Amino acid sequence: MFGKILVAVDGSEHAYKALDVAADLAEKYGASLLVVHVVMQHAIPSYFEGLAVEKAEQLFRSLGSEIAEKIFAECEARQCNRNLSSMSTAVAEGEPARAITNLAKTEAVDLIAMGTRGLTGIQDLLIGSVAHKVNILSHCPVITVK
């Protein structure tokens, strides 16, 4: 039924619960698991130019990659006793819902798993959750985990 499952992680407990559910499904169906962390791009006003902007963008990217590596290490530690056929990781950049759904389409994913609440806090109440947006934009089924 599922050949490839993408699970989006942000370091929140809900994301790790989604990872557990996705890993259970991957084990059951012999599916590969793609663990994704999205590094949000920070908007730098267009009137700033030059070396300072480049340095700021490099710093954001570097910090995002560092955080992703720590999250991936935690994911691997939590799944070390499982019999998964394949577990890979990826870092995507951009607005999280679009980055997740674009990667899911590119990677021909059969299912997306994610937590119902992440680390974005009150922002979700104002503009809608990432999980809700992924559910709307996705080409494949989305399972959300509390």
> What is the domain-level CATH number for residue 41?
3.40.50.620
pLDDT digits (tens, 9 = 90+) for 30-73: 999 999 999 987 666 666 666 767 777 778 778 888 999 999 99
Structural domain containing residue 112 = 4-145
**pLDDT at residue 126, as a whole number:** 45
Number of domains into which the chain is organized: 1
**Better pLDDT: 119 or 138:** 138
**pLDDT at residue 36, as a whole number:** 97
pLDDT digits (tens, 9 = 90+) for 99-130: 999 999 999 999 999 998 755 555 445 445 89
Question: Residues 6 or more apart from 24 whose CB is under 8 A from it?
Answer: none
pTM, to two decimals: 0.86
